[in-house]
Structure 1
Amino acid sequence: MKFSYTILFIIISYFLFNCNQKTELTIHVLQFNIWQEGTIIEGGFDAIVNEIIRTKSDLIAFSEVRNYNKINFNEHIIEALKDKGYTYYAQKSQDTGLLSKYPIISQTALYPVINDHGSITKAIINVLGEEIAFYSGHLDYLNCALYLPRGYDGSTWKKLDNPITNIDTIQKVNLVSKRDEAIDVFIKDAKNEIKQGRIVIYGGDNNEPSHLDWIEANKNRYDHHGVVINWRNTFELQKAGFTDVYREKYPNPITHPGFTYPANNKDIPIEKLAWSPDADDRDRIDFIFYYPDDRLKLNDVKIVGPKGDIVRNKRITETTNDEFIEPFAIWPTDHKAILASFSLTY
């Protein structure tokens, strides 16, 4: 029988085509400050579980993991999700935590919490053969300089005689915190992961605003009192090549301010929500960053949580163009969460 080179060409072409085909997977990343593990509000822990399920989150970065009463929070939440028919992976951590639908290869306390000055936890996660270096940050809440232009001390939250608007003074107070040390550790470590070919994603409550938000166009809004400032840590992240998902999707902070704090939690007395009761301290302090990679494409970003905020000790409903996924019932925290959807090619 005479062999046909045409048939051979077709067979080889078929296998080459199929070997080179790429598959796309959608992954949902949730950054979630859970306010002392959901213990501040009745039913808060169950609400955390329900929001993870409702948002179909694959990778979750938690802030305020405490392991109260010697109960491993990550084990607790894995079991609660398992009871509802969902499988997740996690390892014990403190202050920050990571939850994943995909196996965790390794986990480290990259910037361990010391005296409640913030932390960053890191995990290497295997997502169908692609390795993601996923980081969860909860940065130092003290020397919180965003309160100074609003007329409050950023460590005691006592009202000042006058707002502080000198940028050098604000930056000096900001750098007394441990936030910059934590971000510098992250950037150094992430660059090493990038060199190893891993995808890098960071989610965190940074307790510091974005330099992309405190701009000339809104210097007289939200009690900025004329301050235009390059907030150090988002500026350093951008300089190192990282992308803020919210500002990539919504570059205009006037139409889409993206406030994440203080959220109007209807089930909490207002005095527990307002740290500077005579000021408008709405800000975007919760973030998801990623390092641009051909395998990763940002699809969408939404705010998860109540549409309302706290302004001068009053509950208000926002009229911005931000897109919200509002809670069905209980919201477990005083922050809003950030949900980013990516396409992962593997």
Structure 2
Amino acid sequence: MKRFLFSLLVTMAFAFVQARSYDRFTVLQWNIWQEGTVVPGGYEAIVDEIVRLKPDFVTFSEVRNYHQTRFCDRIVASLKEHGQTYYSFYSDDSGLLSRYPITDSVTVFPLKDDHGSVYKMVTSFGGKEVAVYTAHLDYLNDAYYNVRGYDGSTWKEIPIPQTVCEVLEVNDRSLRDDAIRSFLAEAREDIDKGRIVILGGDFNEPSHLDWIRETKDLYDHHGLIVPWTVPLMLDNAGFADAYRVRYPDVLNYPGFTFPADNPLIAVEKLTWAPKADERDRIDYVFFYPNQQLEVEDVVIFGPKGSIVCGRREEEKSKDRFLLPQGVWPTDHKAVLVTFRLSR
């Protein structure tokens, strides 16, 4: 009898698992370097890659709204010419695309004097409301350059800071923390409403998960273990870094997104600190975990090469790459995340 009951329970459990259905959606975080205009054929490449990958959501960084028209309006029109329907809305500096109609949009942190921006849209997917945020945070006072001996505001050589306190003093001059505080306040309302919350962006700041004891003597970290504040604030608020959820091994999976090698552009235009190893992961997709949402897969989208001390170098890591099909339109590598939402 006991054996029969055990067998019945196993059968029922298996049937329950089989009965569960899942919806998958993808989020592409992509810094497009002034809308791809720096690279010959860059804009067309952005369009072609979105047509190829068909991401459900795209969070853009370095939207500049050139050509007397809004970039997101222009890209939506270009995608329509290729038979792809996307939705977007007003944005500066950062932008959003959705394959699903937008029911609400919010300016969370408006662009002011190049100190970054955060925008939000709300849509529905798999019977759930989804709030997708995009961010391109303040690029001034980039303290991770100071660690390499470069001023993060003027990009001139300076003495290398000797303490973490010196680094964080520079970091505090930016408005990145302010932008994330605005995001967290807005996102809390979404979470309370039961929405899925996603944040993609170029934070212009490394992660506290990457500058740790094991890496303190690598990549010109100069022995410093830095609690970088933006990813740490998100971590403390309960948000998860999709890349580190999937690849917690920092040494084998560093996941560098900047500076990316681009064979169409001279090396000196791809690096702010030509004598330093400035490889970092500064492009992220964060999400608020719940029992229904999981990270199924993450890949770095872009070339394997990085610019290291003014040289082109291919990464020797175990990071998984999705290579571009042609022209690469930017000096960043993108992050493509596949989420699984159980019903």
**Mean CA deviation greater in 293-302 or 282-291:** 293-302
Give 1:12's aligned residue.
none
> What secondary structure does 2:67 align onto?
helix
Give 1:302's aligned residue.
299
Give 1:202's aligned residue.
199
Does residue 143 (structure 1) correspond to residue 141 (structure 2)? The answer is: yes
Does residue 260 (structure 1) correspond to residue 257 (structure 2)? The answer is: yes
Given candidates 221, 226, 241, the residue that maps to 1:244 is 241
**In 2: Cα distance, 1:156 partner to 1:206 partner:** 19
> What secondary structure does 1:70 align onto?
coil
Once the two structures are superposed, the pairs formed by residues 168-183 of structure 1 within 5 Å of their partners are 168-183=165-180
AA matched with 2:169: K
What is the aligned-residue identity percentage? 50
**In 1: Cα distance, 2:214 partner to 2:306 partner:** 21
> What secondary structure does 1:158 align onto?
coil
**In 2: Cα distance, 1:295 partner to 1:81 partner:** 31
Unaligned runs of 5+ in 2: 1-14
Q: Are the counterparts in 2 of residues 148 and 165 from structure 1 also a CA contact under 8 Å?
A: no
Give 1:192's aligned residue.
189
Give 1:13's aligned residue.
none
Give 1:70's aligned residue.
68
TM-score by length of 2: 0.93
Q: Are the counterparts in 2 of residues 95 and 118 from structure 1 also a CA contact under 8 Å?
A: yes
CA RMSD of aligned residues (A): 1.4
Give 2:210's aligned residue.
213
CA positional deviation for 1:135 = 0.2
Does residue 115 (structure 1) correspond to residue 113 (structure 2)? The answer is: yes
Given candidates 94, 97, 111, the residue that maps to 2:95 is 97
CA positional deviation for 1:22 = 5.6
> What secondary structure does 1:120 align onto?
strand
Once the two structures are superposed, the pairs formed by residues 220-231 of structure 1 within 5 Å of their partners are 220-231=217-228
AA matched with 1:29: V
Give 1:132's aligned residue.
130
Give 1:7's aligned residue.
none
Q: Are the counterparts in 1 of residues 49 and 325 from structure 2 also a CA contact under 8 Å?
A: no
Deviations 1:111-159 (A, max 9, x none): 0000111000100112243111100000000000001111111111101
**In 1: Cα distance, 2:215 partner to 2:256 partner:** 14
CA positional deviation for 1:267 = 0.5
**In 2: Cα distance, 1:301 partner to 1:94 partner:** 27
State the aligned residue count.
327
> What secondary structure does 1:104 align onto?
coil
Q: Are the counterparts in 2 of residues 73 and 92 from structure 1 also a CA contact under 8 Å?
A: no
**In 2: Cα distance, 1:233 partner to 1:277 partner:** 26
Once the two structures are superposed, the pairs formed by residues 39-50 of structure 1 within 5 Å of their partners are 39-50=37-48
Structure 1 stretches (4+) deviating beyond 3 angstroms?
A: none
Does residue 27 (structure 1) correspond to residue 6 (structure 2)? The answer is: no
Give 2:83's aligned residue.
85
Does residue 325 (structure 1) correspond to residue 322 (structure 2)? The answer is: yes
**Mean CA deviation greater in 316-325 or 21-30:** 21-30
Deviations 1:73-117 (A, max 9, x none): 111111111111111111121111110011111112110000111
CA positional deviation for 1:56 = 2.5
Deviations 1:29-77 (A, max 9, x none): 0001011111111111111112212223101101111111321211111
TM-score by length of 1: 0.92
Give 1:55's aligned residue.
53
Unaligned runs of 5+ in 1: 1-16
**In 1: Cα distance, 2:188 partner to 2:264 partner:** 42
Give 1:272's aligned residue.
269
CA positional deviation for 1:204 = 0.5
Give 1:36's aligned residue.
34
Q: Are the counterparts in 2 of residues 206 and 285 from structure 1 also a CA contact under 8 Å?
A: yes
